[in-house]
Every structure is written in structure tokens, then in C-alpha cells.
């Protein structure tokens, strides 16, 4: 299946001379949730801005639904809904008016039934006659999503969709995004909440200093880069790791009461069985053990540090 968004050798240099994107190539598959991760200033928002038509590209090519974003901008943009990072709203308009305005702006005829559905899906129906200035931050964020969905886009860009919203509302947003994906909408989100990407994304891209440094299926990424830790709580204090256990590269901490073993889940052998046997032979007893897996956040931090 052809990608719904194709970015080829895209570069962006601002008038100041700052290069925000360097030869970025990226395909977004139809119907997926793609999470774009990156530290502040990595180029995430610039990339989204170019695809959506807010910023000009310096070099390269971008197509949306097979339409060039410059030569065939009407067809390309009509497929896209954008929820920007900042809460840009018309404070004195009502929710209904601003969402209806967005639909009209995209050239779609009036459809009160659709606007009603969008507002109800986002729990905004009872606020439809309120002016935006009267709404809470979380509600304003949902109004932004409602505006983006007002013209029934096939692609939804969410730039930091849950920044500054509380945990409950964040989970509500995730549900909304999940429903959109189920309805066939392609979702591209940038986020600082790694948990968000881990929870929702099908694929993950990492951008740093204007370059894409990784694009991978989330599951594969977790498998390939995921490492586990085995932590043993000892029964008796240990002064040092015995020489016989040196091959395992154990870490002794917790005032000599805790041993940590790092192992690769993808390896043929984890070495756990042998370790436990050797611990017994060395007379080291433990009262508890636990394992933890590296989170996506660890992977992300490791990738960004490697690129730094």
C-alpha cells in the first residue's frame, strides 16, 4: 500500500541561517498511529508545519495522499487536520462558531450533524454555546481537536496533544485518538510523554538535531533495544562481588544488600539460570528478586545521547 504521507530529502533552513531539518525522508502508512519523538528544538514542529503548509520547505519533496504539497496544495491540505502545540483559539467566539468556521475554511458545506457528533465525542456538546475564553485549558485543547476534525480529515496531526492536561484527561484523549485510528484516520503525534508513544503508537520515529535517527515498529524497537534487569535483594550484606561472579558483571549497591544483573532478552541465553546456580555455590542467598524492562524512555534517551 502506498504511504499516505511521503517525505523525501526534506531540508529546511530559516532566514537566520539555522538549519532545522537536514535531508529528512519518511513515509507514513495509511491508518497507523505514528509517534515522532525528539527533544526540544529537534525539528518536530518544523516538519509538521511544512507538511501542513504553514512553513515553506527549502529542499526536497512532500506528498500527502499522492498530492504534492506545493503543486497540488488544495488536495493535499484538504486531507489534513492539524492540532498545534499551543492553544491558539479565538477567545471571544463560541465553541460552535469556531468549529463551524474551521469546516467552512476547508471548503466543506455546513453539516451540523457532523459538528454535533464531533463535539459529543469530545465531551464538548454542553459547552457548544460557551465562549472559548470561558473554558478550561483541557477543554480548549479538545476544541482544537474538534476544529481539526470538523472537516473530516483522513490524517490528523497532533503536536504535543496532551501537554499540560491532567492524567484523567490525557487518558480520555488517548481514547479519542484510539477511536480515530479505528475509524481509519492516520494519526501522527509528537509528544514529550514517552508513555504516550509507548501506549498508542504503531511506529515510532526519533528526530534529533533535524535528522531522523530512527524509524521502527514500536514492538520491534522494544524487542531490539529492550534490555532487562534482574535485581536480587540479599539476605546478608556483601562486601564485594566474589571473583567467581565477575563474568556476570554484577552491580552491588544498596549498602551491599542488592545485586543487579543486566541481560539481553534477545540473546540465546539470558544467563539467569547459570547466575543463580553460581550464587548458590558461592553461598549467597537472596530473599527477593524482580525483573524490570527498559522503557521506551530509556531507549529514547540512549538514542538522543548517542547522537549528541
Partner 1 sequence: MNFTAIRAIYLFEMARTWRTLLQSIVSPVISTSLYFVVFGAAIGSRISEIQGVSYGTFIVPGLVMLSVLTQSISNASFGIYFPKFVGTIYEILSAPVSYLEIVIGYVGAAATKSILLGLIILGTAGLFVPLHIHHPFWMLAFLVLTAVTFSLLGFIIGIWADNFEKLQAIPLLVVTPLTFLGGSFYSVNMLPSGWRTITLFNPVVYLISGFRWSFYEIADVSLAVSVGLTLTFLAICLVTIWWIFKTGYRLKN
CB of 54 to partner 1, least distance (A): 5
Locate 166 and state its grid cell.
491532567
Measured from the CB atom, the residue of 77 and 141 that comes closer to partner 1 is: 77
Edge-first strand order for the sheet with 59-64 is 19-28, 5-13, 59-64, 67-68
> CA angle 175-181-182, nearest 5°?
90
CB of 154 to partner 1, least distance (A): 13
Measured from the CB atom, the residue of 101 and 286 that comes closer to partner 1 is: 101
Does residue 155 contact residue 80 with C-beta atoms inside 8 Å? yes
Measured from the CB atom, the residue of 91 and 220 that comes closer to partner 1 is: 91
Positions touching partner 1 (CB under 8 A) are: 14-15, 52-56, 73-78, 80, 82, 84, 86, 88-93, 97, 101-109, 147
Distances (CA, A) of 280 to 60, 170, 244, 252, 277: 62, 47, 12, 17, 5
Measured from the CB atom, the residue of 103 and 141 that comes closer to partner 1 is: 103
Measured from the CB atom, the residue of 105 and 274 that comes closer to partner 1 is: 105
- The CA distance from 5 to 162, in Å, is 23
Q: Are strands 258-264 and 227-234 parallel, antiparallel or unpaired?
A: antiparallel
| CB hemisphere CA count around 202 (13 angstroms) | 14
- The CA distance from 46 to 65, in Å, is 20
CB of 36 to partner 1, least distance (A): 17
CB of 73 to partner 1, least distance (A): 7
CB of 205 to partner 1, least distance (A): 21
Chain centroid to Cα 199, Å, comes to: 9
- The CA distance from 285 to 294, in Å, is 26
CB of 66 to partner 1, least distance (A): 15
Measured from the CB atom, the residue of 75 and 214 that comes closer to partner 1 is: 75
Measured from the CB atom, the residue of 142 and 218 that comes closer to partner 1 is: 142
CB of 95 to partner 1, least distance (A): 14
Amino acid at each position: 500500500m502506498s504511504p499516505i504521507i511521503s517525505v523525501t530529502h526534506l531540508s529546511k533552513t530559516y532566514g537566520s541561517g539555522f538549519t532545522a531539518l537536514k535531508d529528512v525522508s519518511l513515509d507514513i502508512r495509511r491508518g497507523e498511529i505514528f509517534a515522532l519523538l525528539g527533544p526540544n528544538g529537534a525539528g518536530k514542529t518544523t516538519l509538521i508545519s511544512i507538511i501542513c503548509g504553514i512553513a515553506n520547505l527549502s529542499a526536497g519533496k512532500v506528498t500527502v495522499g499522492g498530492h504534492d504539497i506545493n503543486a497540488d496544495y488544495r488536495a493535499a491540505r484538504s486531507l489534513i487536520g492539524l492540532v498545534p502545540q499551543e492553544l491558539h483559539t479565538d477567545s471571544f467566539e463560541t465553541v460552535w462558531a469556531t468549529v463551524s468556521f474551521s469546516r467552512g475554511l476547508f471548503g466543506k458545506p455546513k453539516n451540523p450533524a457532523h459538528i454535533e457528533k464531533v463535539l459529543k465525542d469530545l465531551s464538548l456538546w454542553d459547552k457548544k454555546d460557551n465562549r472559548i475564553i470561558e473554558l478550561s485549558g483541557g477543554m480548549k485543547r479538545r476544541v482544537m481537536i474538534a476544529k481539526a476534525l470538523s472537516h473530516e480529515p483522513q490524517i490528523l496531526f497532533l503536536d504535543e496533544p496532551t501537554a499540560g492536561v491532567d492524567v484523567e484527561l490525557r487518558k480520555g484523549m488517548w481514547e479519542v485518538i484510539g477511536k480515530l485510528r479505528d475509524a481509519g484516520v492516520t494519526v501522527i503525534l509528537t509528544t514529550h510523554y514517552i508513555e504516550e508513544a509507548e501506549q498508542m503508537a504503531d511506529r515510532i520515529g526519533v528526530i534529533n538535531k533535524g535528522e531522523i535517527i530512527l524509524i521502527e515498529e514500536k514492538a520491534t524497537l522494544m524487542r531490539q533495544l529492550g534490555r532487562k534487569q534482574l535485581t536480587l535483594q540479599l539476605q546478608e550484606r556483601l562486601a564485594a562481588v566474589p571473583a567467581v561472579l565477575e563474568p556476570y558483571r554484577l552491580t552491588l549497591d544498596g549498602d551491599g544488600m542488592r545485586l543487579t544483573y543486566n541481560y539481553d532478552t534477545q540473546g540465546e541465553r539470558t544467563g539467569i539460570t547459570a547466575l543463580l546456580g553460581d550464587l548458590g555455590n558461592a553461598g549467597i542467598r537472596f530473599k527477593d528478586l524482580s525483573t524490570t524492562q527498559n522503557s521506551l524512555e530509556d531507549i529514547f534517551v540512549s538514542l538522543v545521547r548517542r547522537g549528541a
